[in-house]
Amino acid sequence: MTKTLVCKQNVFNRKACDAISYGCILKCMENADLWPRPNAQDVHMSVTQLVSVINGFDNLALQKHDQCLGMQEMRKSTNDILAGIESPLLDSHRQALKARNQAG
């Protein structure tokens, strides 16, 4: 079975670009203490911080191959997920906070 190559450039060894790109992603994850994959209870950052870390991933090795990593797609996905998270506050919480703010 042939896998789709992620390299978007036609002037470079595309299989090597793919291998380097995956290595860059793993290195970025390692730098962020997300690789090797930690247990959930060992990750001490908010969802917003995690999105910021992922959005900071960059192609560390190949100039002109930034599009090959799929970083724009990952950034869009993480930002869409973050935007889709609803507030954990209930209406009763909002009313209590409003009453407290008005009283204080």
pLDDT in tens, 86-97: 888 888 988 998
Better-predicted residue by pLDDT, 65 or 15: 15
Where exactly are the structural domains of the chain? 14-103
- Return the closest-CA partner of residue 56 out of 67, 44, 68, 71: 71
Confidence band of 39 (pLDDT split at 50, 70, 90): very high
- Token pair of 19, please? 């291998």
Provide the 3-class DSSP secondary structure of residue 58: coil
Q: Is the pLDDT of residue 59 over 70?
A: no
Here the tokens at position 46 are 């908010």
The pTM of the full predicted model, rounded to 2 decimals, is 0.66
